[in-house]
Amino acid sequence: MPSNREFIRNADRKAVMQQITKKSEALFAQAQQTIPGGVNSPVRAFRSVGGTPRFFAKAKGAYGWDADGNRYVDYICSWGPAIVGHAHPEVIAAVQEAAAHGLSFGAPTAAEVEIAEWIRSHLPSMEMMRLTSSGTEATMSAIRVARGFTGRSKIIKFEGCYHGHVDSLLVKAGSGLLTFGNPTSAGVPKSFAEETIVLDYNDIDGVKKCFNEHGAAIAGVIVEPVAGNMNLVKPIKGFLEALRQQCDAHGALLIFDEVMTGFRVGPQGVQGISGVRPDLTTLGKVIGGGMPMGAFGGRKDVMQCVAPLGPVYQAGTLSGNPVAVAAGLATLRIVSAPGFFEKLTSMTASLMQDLQTIAHESGEENFCTDSIGGMFGLYFSKTIPITFDDVSQSDRDQFNRFFHAMLNRGVYLAPSAFEAGFVSIAHAGDPIDQTLQAARESFAEIAR
């Protein structure tokens, strides 16, 4: 089997990759017999970029190995959770210790209280919270709480933002749905979608107009304060502040979906960077350290309407699972070390600048990058996007060529032009050096 370095030098990369992905191809064929599309989450199927998805067998630090034994520098990082690198020894030890005492109890544990207090100490807006098993559960529950607390039914979301596969939020959603060019989902009743108002991200005037027309019916606004599901798109100056002002003026709740950005872009998420305090926050990914976990929480008076204290029902058999909580606590302790986010932010920004320089030196002027904390965006366009329409106008064919050129050189990017990428603290050094070398060769290849 050729090593990464050997197939990097090989001119006929397509032929080489056909030889070294046989197990992934066989597994993909087998999986399609029992799993829709052969994958358990749509974007993994490589439908957007073409080719065979890699079936991973293990991961360590910044690297992942597929079933054929090929090693990749991993910039998916389990779609964000692996911020300290895969299989960090402290996280693994915490999981092993917790698992040795039992996998699930269906009863409260001291660790649940500990992680809730840890989160509250870093995100003061989350005065009370409830743990869940996923980010989707968290956003679904936050929406229910907003409606229950206000007695209203309508929710504002933004085109290109994805908040999990919640029925009323699968309305012009982002992420994998954009990949398939189908921004709505079958199986969602029209009556559910009618309770959702979809606005353009970063359109302050549109938000104000909507509240002026429908303010009395709006229960809340849910937003990715930095979007990561239509690639990385940051809020323009004043956008988040306008959401806060309009919600206050009309009695609606502001919900920050920080499932992706929470403890990924900084020690207090986007709300710490922006200074805008939401009424409710949803979390996931990093707080589970790679295990399935989410959380939603916010103002005490709002959260006190959740059962058993109030009339809004929410429950989950595996909510606060002790193994997931152990992984999350171990991860959160690591990222709270002094200088962690400063190093991660600097490393990510430097990588993005280097990639942009390499692209321009190769003659690819239609390329730019952006980053925040350990999240980044790659855009085959001349300017950094600020709306979903901007992202949609990028050169997806060129992205697909770049994706495969990098994959063939041992660098694993998100298999869609509509996804943000992630850097872990473990990427420092050789992984980034390998990435930049792969980028030099890849941009030279796609420029031909």
Report the catalytic residues: 162, 257, 285
Q: Distance between CA 61 and CA 79 in Å, rounded?
A: 15
Which tokens is 49 given? 């970029």
Contacts of 173 (CB under 8 A, 6+ apart): 161, 162, 163, 183, 184, 185, 229
Which tokens is 34 given? 């029992």
Which tokens is 47 given? 């439908």
Handedness of CA 34, 37, 38, 42 (dihedral sign): negative
